C-alpha cells in the first residue's frame, strides 16, 4: 500500500485537466456563437452596402458608374458609431479614397 501511495508533492492532475478541458469547451462554444452572429451582421452590412450602391448606379451590372466616393460613403457612415477623432476619421477616409481610386483603373 505504501508503495502505491502518491507522494505529497505529486498532485492528482485529472481534476485540473478536466477543469481546463471544460474551460476550453466553453470557450469554443462561445467563439462559435460569436462567429455565427458576426457572420450574420457582416452579411447584413454587405447586403445593405450593395443595395445602396445599386441605387446609386444607373446600370448595376457595369462597374464603370461606381466612383470611389460611392464606395467610401457607406463605410464612413458606419464609422460614426466608432470612437474616432475627426482627424483620424478624415485620414481613414482619405486612405480609403486613395485605395478605391487606385482600383478604378481595373474597372475600365
Q: What are the domain boundaries of the chain?
A: 13-56, 58-108
User: What are the pLDDT digits (tens) for 60-84?
Assistant: 556 566 778 888 888 888 788 778 8
pTM for the whole thing? 0.47
All residues at 6 or more sequence positions from 57 whose CB lies less than 8 Å from its CB, including other chains: 65, 66, 70
- Per-residue model confidence (pLDDT) at position 94: 93
Contact indicator for 76, 100 with CB cutoff of 8 Å: no
pLDDT in tens, 1-41: 777 676 666 666 777 888 889 999 888 888 888 888 778 77
Amino acid at each position: 500500500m505504501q508503495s502505491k501511495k502518491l507522494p505529497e508533492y505529486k498532485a492528482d492532475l485529472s481534476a485540473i485537466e478536466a477543469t481546463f478541458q471544460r474551460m476550453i469547451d466553453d470557450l469554443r462554444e462561445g467563439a462559435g456563437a460569436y462567429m455565427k452572429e458576426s457572420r450574420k451582421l457582416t452579411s447584413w452590412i454587405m447586403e445593405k452596402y450593395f443595395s445602396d450602391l445599386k441605387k446609386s448606379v444607373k446600370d448595376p451590372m457595369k462597374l464603370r458608374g461606381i466612383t470611389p466616393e460611392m464606395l467610401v460613403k457607406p463605410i464612413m457612415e458606419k464609422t460614426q458609431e466608432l470612437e474616432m477623432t475627426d482627424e483620424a476619421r478624415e485620414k481613414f477616409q482619405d486612405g480609403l479614397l486613395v485605395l478605391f481610386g487606385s482600383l478604378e483603373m481595373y474597372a475600365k
